[in-house]
């Protein structure tokens, strides 16, 4: 029997949905409203980006389900004998894995592991989780598949991989150095945690997923056709694990589609060329605009919006990645780790947010001028 929803229940559900999917709602509303003043075109939607994102989510979801990353992290942590070594291991696996499986997946995988260690050892892990968030956001900067904004910009500006890495390698190294300094300043003590070994589900399906991941990387680098990749990936997942289709973040795909339409509509308004010529005509303007916009609308929408009005691709790439530091919403990956911590330690949320802003402010203070003067000035 279907339950009849009253007005109050509908209202509560709507509020909950908007809080949970605020960026999705904003993207759809902007697309709808802008379509009243401009005629939307199908060509605005970048299917190349959407297909790559979809395939990567399917494949990475399959690899995550087989707990390969958990296995590697636990093996490393079992060798650690001090607090600093444990923290270093958690930061290292988060930093490196974010380059391959996105910052979101790195945090979803390793922050729960940090929370387990905190419970087992009686540690206050808020600071470590904040450092992990910095590691994920900054480590993901290196590669095109490290985060959604990189994937979009790589396709949008038709980057070559060598050119891309020339832009991102130095900032990633600077970020790694910053994390190392934070680690060395941490008070150390003897600590050994007893973690149960994680068993990896081995078999031919693991080999298939690894091959699919390599095909995804090849498609990102423009070495493999994305439509062929979609056909192969969907067919393989239908055979291997159909449950992966239910785990896809479809809201992210719809959000991208909404922003594609909105931004395409904006390009029809001539008066917006003033913005392009004034703020976004130079590398400096684009870089600082990317950082500033990310603080308020998050770095993925900022990248998509500003890309419509600038050809300063290197500056925009750097701006929206460094701009992932700062406010909690500057990078949606930061929201993931915050929610995981808040669920485990609801009474410590205020302290966590203050500490989060403190370390992100340090990151911005150190990286914003360094990257600008070394790469753009």
The confidence score (pLDDT) of residue 279 equals 73
DSSP string, 34-54: HHHHS---GGGS-HHHHHHHH
For 280, the 3-state DSSP assignment is coil
Of 84-93, 263-272, 287-296, 339-348, the range with the lowest mean pLDDT is 263-272
Task: Inform me whether the pLDDT recorded for 2 exceeds 50.
Answer: no
| Tokens read off for 51 | 């297909």
The confidence score (pLDDT) of residue 275 equals 66
List of residues 6+ apart from 122 with CB closer than 8 A = none
Q: Do residues 92 and 75 touch, judged by C-beta distance below 8 A?
A: no
The confidence score (pLDDT) of residue 22 equals 73
For the chain, what percentages of helix, strand and coil (3-state, to nearest 5) are there?
Answer: 75, 0, 25
> How many residues are there in the chain?
377
Reduce the secondary structure of 112-126 to three states and give it as a string: HHHHHHHHHHCCCCH
The whole-chain average pLDDT of the chain stands at 89
Query: How many CA atoms are closer than 13 Å to the CA of 218, on its beta-carbon side?
Result: 14
Across 254-259, average pLDDT: 88
Give me the percent of the chain exceeding a pLDDT of 90. 60
Q: At what angle do helices 332-344 and 349-371 cross, to 10 degrees?
A: 160
Q: Do residues 132 and 91 touch, judged by C-beta distance below 8 A?
A: yes
How far apart CA 98 and CA 284 sit, in angstroms, is 27
Cα–Cα distance list, 168 to 206, 287, 318 (Å): 31, 14, 7
The confidence score (pLDDT) of residue 182 equals 95
Q: 158: which DSSP letter?
A: T
pTM strictly above 0.85: yes
**How many beta carbons lie within 10 A of that of residue 69, not counting itself?**
24
- Model confidence over 289-343: pLDDT tens digits? 999 999 998 999 899 989 988 999 999 999 999 999 999 999 989 999 999 999 9
Q: Do residues 254 and 182 touch, judged by C-beta distance below 8 A?
A: no
């Amino acid at each position: 029997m279907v339950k009849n929803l009253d007005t109050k229940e509908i209202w509560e559900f709507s509020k909950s949905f908007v809080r949970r999917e605020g960026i999705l709602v904003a993207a759809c509303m902007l697309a709808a409203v802008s379509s009243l003043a401009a005629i939307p075109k199908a060509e605005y939607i970048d299917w190349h980006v959407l297909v790559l994102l979809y395939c990567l989510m399917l494949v990475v979801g399959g690899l995550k389900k087989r707990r390969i990353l958990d296995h590697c992290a636990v093996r490393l942590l079992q060798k650690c004998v001090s607090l600093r070594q444990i923290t270093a291991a958690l930061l290292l696996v988060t930093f490196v894995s974010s380059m391959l499986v996105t910052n979101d997946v790195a945090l979803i995988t390793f922050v729960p592991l940090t929370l387990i260690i905190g419970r087992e050892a009686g540690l206050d892990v808020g600071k470590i989780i904040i450092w992990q968030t910095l590691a994920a956001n900054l480590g993901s900067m290196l590669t095109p598949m490290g985060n959604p904004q990189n994937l979009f910009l790589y396709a949008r500006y038709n980057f070559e991989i060598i050119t891309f890495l020339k832009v991102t390698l130095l900032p990633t190294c600077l970020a790694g150095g910053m994390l190392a300094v934070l680690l060395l300043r941490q008070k150390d003590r003897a600590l050994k945690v007893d973690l149960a070994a994680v068993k990896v589900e081995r078999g031919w399906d693991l080999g298939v997923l690894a091959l699919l991941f390599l095909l995804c990387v090849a498609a990102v680098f423009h070495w493999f056709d994305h439509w062929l990749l979609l056909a192969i990936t969907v067919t393989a997942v239908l055979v291997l694990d159909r449950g992966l289709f239910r785990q896809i973040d479809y809201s992210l795909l719809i959000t991208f589609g909404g922003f594609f339409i909105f931004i395409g509509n904006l390009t029809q308004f001539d008066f917006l060329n003033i913005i392009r010529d004034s703020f976004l005509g130079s590398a400096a303007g684009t870089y600082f605009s990317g950082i500033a916009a990310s603080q308020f609308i998050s770095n993925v929408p900022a990248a998509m919006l500003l890309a419509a009005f600038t050809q300063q691709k290197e500056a925009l790439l750097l701006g929206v990645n460094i701009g992932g530091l700062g406010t909690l919403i500057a990078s949606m990956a930061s929201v993931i780790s915050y929610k995981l911590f808040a669920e485990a330690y609801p009474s410590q949320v205020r302290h966590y947010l203050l500490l989060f802003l403190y370390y992100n402010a340090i990151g911005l203070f150190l990286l914003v001028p360094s990257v600008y003067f070394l790469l753009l000035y």
